[in-house]
Structure 1
Amino acid sequence: MSIYVGNLSYDVTQDDLNTTFAEYGTVKRVQLPTDRETGRLRGFAFVEMDTEAEETAAIEALNGAEWMGRDLKVNKARPREERGSSGGSWGNRGGSQRRY
């Protein structure tokens, strides 16, 4: 399991997050997603800690806390949703069906 950290400053670094979350336990990994086109940080991160108890302590302490000029949103990360079809064929919308 990992922690979702939202509403981050665009100036944050992995070291910043490591240092802050290390106050609550062992940080196993920090992931700072970037925009594919611009390379700019997307304003959120994922942090993995050694134990669930450490994750819980970090969430309770940091959710809503002001950090680097922003109010953090910190909670358990939800599993990534599949981006597949949600039923039906996206290519068949009442017209003739194309064959590729």
Structure 2
Amino acid sequence: MPREEAVSKLFVGNLSFKVTDADLQNWFESNGYPVESAQVMTDHKTGRSRGIGFVVLKRNDQLKDAVDKLNGQSFSGRTVNVEAAKSPASNEGPHPQKRGRW
């Protein structure tokens, strides 16, 4: 039986395309949330930001407070969405089949 780990990972959406990993980390820390890691997701082909990121907090007990405080706040000129990250296993439902080209 797999053990459950406390989730401390946050999803951050609607980021400015100019925001870097360091910017994201600094924003959380300036709001009182120590960060273990922060990553802005980029397109692997172009290297450009996808406008989303993930933040892992050092303290699991701050997750709900961070969501409550930061969701809907302005960061780098955009109103950001902050929510607890969903695990890949929580993506329920059927997955579309990939089909080859004709």
TM-score when normalising by structure 2: 0.74
Distance 1:75 1:82, change over 3 A: closer
Following TM superposition, by how much is the alpha carbon of 1:20 offset from its aligned partner in structure 2, in angstroms?
Answer: 1.2
Identity %: 33
Provide the alpha-carbon RMSD of the alignment. Answer: 2.3
Tell which structure's C-alpha radius of gyration is larger. Answer: 1
Cα deviation, 1:34-78, whole Å, max 9, x if unaligned, reads 102111011000000012222222211110011111111000000
Q: Which runs of 5+ in 1 are unaligned?
A: 92-100
May I ask how many residue pairs the two structures share in their alignment? 88
Alignment of 1:88-99 (within 5 A): none
Which structure 2 residue ranges, 5 or more long, are not aligned?
A: 1-6
Q: Which structure features the higher share of strand residues?
A: 2
